[in-house]
Structure 1
Amino acid sequence: MRKLVLFILLLFSCHSFAAEQQDSVAKSRHRVTLYGDTEESVSPRQHGLIPIMSFTTIGIEPVRRLTIGVSYIGYLGLYKDSERKTYYQTQGIGGECGWQLFKAKKDGTFWDKGDEIDIRARYGHSIGGGDLKYDLYDAAIIYRYMRSVIDLSLAVGYRFINSHSSEVRNHSNVYLGIGIGI
């Protein structure tokens, strides 16, 4: 519970900092903005393992349309074979780079002003003494619903996890992610 409260406080502090940045950007030519988001994703079962991943990202938009960020990765792998049921849990860090493909300038038939479509590439690596050691490679297309202070996002992507643990094989699959951001 304490981690959740700290995370919510972090999101709100990032939002107030980003709002101050946007006010100062309006007065200057240099447009660097700070953003934060969190995403939960789940993939279908492969080799008896269902990977559920959580990404918490803080990043910047150094130039228009380009985003660069660092992520904390939480990994939970629900494992089931004919003999046992268990789970693998580990943490990781990673980096991401994104590019805005489309941003609606006005309300239309399918889009409202501010909606956007982005592409993103990620790399992640496990840290600490978790149950699973891995390298993660990820590419996604994201729809962002940006109509209020908090943005909602829906991601569809492809993820490859190179496992360095003998108990779990490498797995690659398509995933669905839902996120919120500021």
Structure 2
Amino acid sequence: MKELNNYDRAASMFYANKKLNSFPISSWDHSGPNFDQICKDFDDLRFLKNLAQANRWSYRNTFDKELIEKEEVILVTDPELKIVYATNNVFKMNGYTLNKIKGKNPKIFQGEETSSKITATIAKAVKNREPFEAIILNYRKDGSTYNCWIKGEPIFNKKGKIVNFIAFEREVA
């Protein structure tokens, strides 16, 4: 029964801002497989909100649209480009869990065939503390490649000091 209460709470939060013409299926048999993902998404949103508050981000984004609607991976680094957080869906995209990449540079996803021209463009934007958008060839944990669309930008605190970088990512054809 506790699981159903948790599901109802998570589903209620998810559907609260949605315009639905019909009711979601409430049968556990049909909704159960999606329950874990909904819970993970809300855990990610809660963590990102707490990170934003702790670092006093001047950045205003709830991340709902990127994470839940667009299913983008959200990756946050510190100012030295060490990964501090990645949403749970990073595993689905490239096979890495947060525990394996936390504290490492996002270059962990790059490899031999990754374009040095694109990485230089991204590096220049990061150095200049500017937003960027690019498609780059990345490598999964198993060594296979995928094209990754990345939209990144610096995050400043309310005093104007850079505290994090954030990237929204998804696999593209």
**What's the TM-score, normalizing by structure 1?**
0.30
How high is the TM-score relative to the length of structure 2? 0.31
Q: Which has the higher strand share?
A: 1
Higher RCO by CA contacts (8 Å cutoff, separation 6 or greater): 2
**Which is helix-richer, 1 or 2?**
2
